[in-house]
Amino acid sequence: MNLANDTKAQAKRLKLMAFDVDGVLTDGALYYTDEGIEIKAFNTLDGHGLKMLQQSGIAVAIITGRKARCVELRMQNLGIDLLYQGCENKWETMQTLLTKLGLDADEAGYMGDDVVDLPVMNACGFSAAPADAHALTKRHARMVASKTGGHGAAREVCEFILDAKDQLETALAPYLRVPGR
């Protein structure tokens, strides 16, 4: 089996896909208001990809080292309840989540962009990184998106997973229907 087929086989087994925030769901830039409130820009394409995963029966989680109210609000908007912020050890958090969901690590995936993500990425059955991730992170990722963090990379990974599970066509079908026909 070649690497591409092996990566697709790993994605096909997923029951849980977790994502980092800064550098994955955002471009990694941190913005602060004069009052010290952290704000971030999220890509709607990525958000819809996360929703499509959920609608296809794949649990979606956020495991991030930083903590920001805007992340909480965005995940509420997307209906993502598995939100873990302020995680110093992302692999420990993933282990707790796997136990909670009754899953094995090979049924889980993680998308990260920096070396702090490597322990959880290497422990999961599937891993991904955006095109602008740290070089070492890209070397260890099973899939490297062609798009950058915060600019469609997560959506690309979501669609790869859905395609591997033979669910992408079904996920996109409602948008191809002409209203009233």
DSSP for 57-77, please give it: T-EEEEE-SS--HHHHHHHHH
What does the domain layout of the chain look like in residue ranges?
A: 3-143+151-172
Contacts of 172 (CB under 8 A, 6+ apart): none
Give tens-digit pLDDT for 12-41: 999 999 999 999 999 999 999 999 999 999
Q: How many CB atoms lie within 10 A of CB 59?
A: 19
Give tens-digit pLDDT for 83-95: 999 999 999 999 9
* Residue in this structure with the two tokens 């952290």, named with its chain if needed: 38
Q: What homologous superfamily does CATH list for 3-143+151-172?
A: HAD superfamily/HAD-like (3.40.50.1000)
Question: What SS3 state is found at 39?
Answer: strand
Q: Which residues pair with 62 in a beta bridge?
A: 19, 83
pTM for this model (two decimals): 0.94
